[in-house]
């Protein structure tokens, strides 16, 4: 059977299958770094990843344009490019199970100079220490990775086949003082693919947690501006009520328009960040739900910890976004109200102007009628004088015509003809004005 495939069908399906979790068969140390991307740094990232492959003596596989993997002896490194960040995940398959928890080096075997020159700004750095062991004594296990008094998040997951512990601390807040937050994952019966998926979920929880929090500084800074803008809007609303005349109304309208433009600018610059934070938060909650947690007495679960620590910042972002939208709506309503008042004032001015124009037209018409009457009298006078001179000439030739009588008879005839002619012209002009010609 022959079909005409849509142009992007195969590419979309390869993208769908391009990022499967890497199966983990035994103990492993998984380290993940995510850096904010700048425009135009794709080639730099590819070149930097090639430098790592050369240093490790490994070849690169690229199953998708946004994904590359290199394999070396007991080590795998995965580079992924996302919408606003690029990530590097290091799988080190040889770790010592006998060593104490939290003590494994996060980036063992990776050239330090290569890490120093990572493109972009690093936001996420975490390591997951996965041990494969059967848990016979739960209390002893918990005391191993949560016995130093630190506030820990501990839960059983994957239907009881895994134990997970984390403190979500790094830098100066962490006991180790480095850039990495740490997780411990105990594999107590997971299959290799389950272990790979669980590690991937923990990586995504940590990554999306921090990227969701990128909206919080924006929300805090925006909150100060919104408070001032809301106060300004309240003041402008009062000035609308107290406005006396078009001059005051135009001044208020100009201020409202400037504030509306500033609100739209801020909405355009913060909309993506708030929308992204909301999407990342939803992904964090989804990935935690996929862990299928069970409570460990005395410790909060990942779900409870995130609801208590991550939900309030996200609520702040949502609140700022809603307040900005309400501010925009309030400005729009105030502007519409003021424009209506300005329009009513302009209509009143136009009506008064039209009345004045009508009054002037009436006066001009009356003046024109007066002038026309005077013109008829003057033309009648001159016409009668012409008739008088004609009759005087005829009388001098022997015709029995009295100049005075001829002039007297000609006066009403001339006046009537002139009046009729002016009336006809006035009627035609009126019809032309009515028709709009």
pLDDT for 132 = 86
pLDDT for 356 = 84
Query: Nearest-CA neighbor of 126 among 87, 71, 85?
Result: 87
Query: Nearest-CA neighbor of 279 among 207, 196, 202?
Result: 207
pLDDT for 312 = 95
Structure tokens at 424: 């006809």
DSSP assignment letter at 108: T
Pairing of strands 75-81, 162-166: unpaired
End-to-end CA distance of the chain: 73
Alpha-carbon gap, residue 239 to 364, rounded angstroms: 43
pLDDT for 147 = 66
Alpha-carbon gap, residue 119 to 40, rounded angstroms: 11
The answer to whether 179 and 186 are in contact (CB under 8 A) is no
10 Å Cβ neighbour count for 169? 15
Alpha-carbon gap, residue 71 to 308, rounded angstroms: 40
Alpha-carbon gap, residue 347 to 353, rounded angstroms: 10
pLDDT for 63 = 76
Burial class (CB in 10 A: 0-12, 13-18, 19+), 180: buried
DSSP assignment letter at 1: -
Give the neighbor-by-neighbor strand order of the sheet with 162-166: 59-64, 67-72, 75-81, 85-92, 28-36, 121-132, 181-187, 162-166, 153-157, 294-295
Structure tokens at 236: 């402008």
pLDDT < 50 positions in the chain:
none
Q: How far is CA 36 from CA 41, 121, 231, in A?
A: 11, 5, 36
Q: Is 429 helix (H, G, I), strand (E, B) or coil?
A: helix
């Amino acid at each position: 059977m022959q079909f005409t495939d849509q142009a992007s069908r195969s590419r979309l399906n390869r993208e769908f299958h391009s990022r499967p979790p890497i199966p983990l068969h035994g103990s492993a140390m998984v380290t993940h770094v995510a850096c904010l991307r700048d425009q135009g740094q794709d080639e730099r990232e590819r070149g930097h990843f090639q430098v790592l492959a050369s240093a490790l003596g490994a070849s690169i596989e690229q199953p998708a344009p946004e994904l590359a993997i290199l394999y070396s002896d007991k080590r795998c490194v995965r580079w992924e490019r996302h919408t606003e960040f690029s990530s590097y995940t290091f799988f080190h398959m040889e770790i010592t199970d006998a060593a104490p928890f939290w003590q494994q080096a996060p980036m063992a075997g990776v050239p330090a100079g290569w890490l120093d020159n990572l493109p972009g700004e690093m936001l996420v750095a975490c390591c997951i220490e996965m041990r494969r062991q059967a848990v016979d004594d739960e209390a002893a296990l918990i005391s191993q990775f949560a016995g130093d008094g630190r506030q820990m998040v501990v839960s059983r997951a994957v239907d009881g086949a895994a134990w997970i512990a984390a403190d979500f601390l790094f830098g100066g807040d962490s006991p180790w003082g480095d850039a990495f937050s740490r997780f411990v994952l105990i594999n107590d019966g997971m299959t290799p693919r389950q272990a790979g998926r669980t590690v991937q979920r923990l990586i995504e929880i940590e990554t999306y947690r921090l990227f969701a929090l990128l909206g919080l500084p924006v929300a805090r800074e925006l909150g100060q501006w919104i408070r001032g803008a809301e106060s300004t809007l309240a003041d402008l609303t009062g000035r609308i009520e107290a406005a006396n005349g078009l001059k005051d109304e135009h001044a208020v309208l100009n201020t409202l328009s400037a504030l509306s433009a500033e609100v739209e600018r801020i909405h355009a610059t913060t909309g993506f960040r708030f929308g992204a934070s909301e999407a990342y938060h939803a992904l964090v909650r989804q990935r935690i739900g996929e862990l299928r947690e069970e409570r460990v007495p005395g410790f909060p679960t990942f779900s409870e910890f995130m609801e208590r620590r991550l939900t309030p910042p996200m609520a702040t972002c949502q609140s700022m976004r809603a307040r900005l939208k309400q501010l925009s709506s309030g400005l729009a309503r105030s502007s519409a109200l003021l424009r209506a008042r300005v329009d009513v004032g302009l209509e009143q001015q136009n009506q008064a102007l039209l009345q004045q124009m009508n009054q002037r037209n009436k006066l001009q018409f009356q003046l024109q009628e007066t002038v026309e009457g005077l013109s008829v009298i003057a033309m009648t006078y001159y016409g009668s004088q012409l008739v008088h001179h004609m009759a005087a000439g005829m009388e001098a030739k022997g015709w029995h015509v009295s100049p005075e009588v001829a002039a007297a008879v000609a006066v009403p005839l001339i006046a009537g003809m002139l009046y009729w002619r002016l009336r006809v012209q006035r009627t035609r002009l009126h019809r032309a004005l009515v028709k709009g010609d």
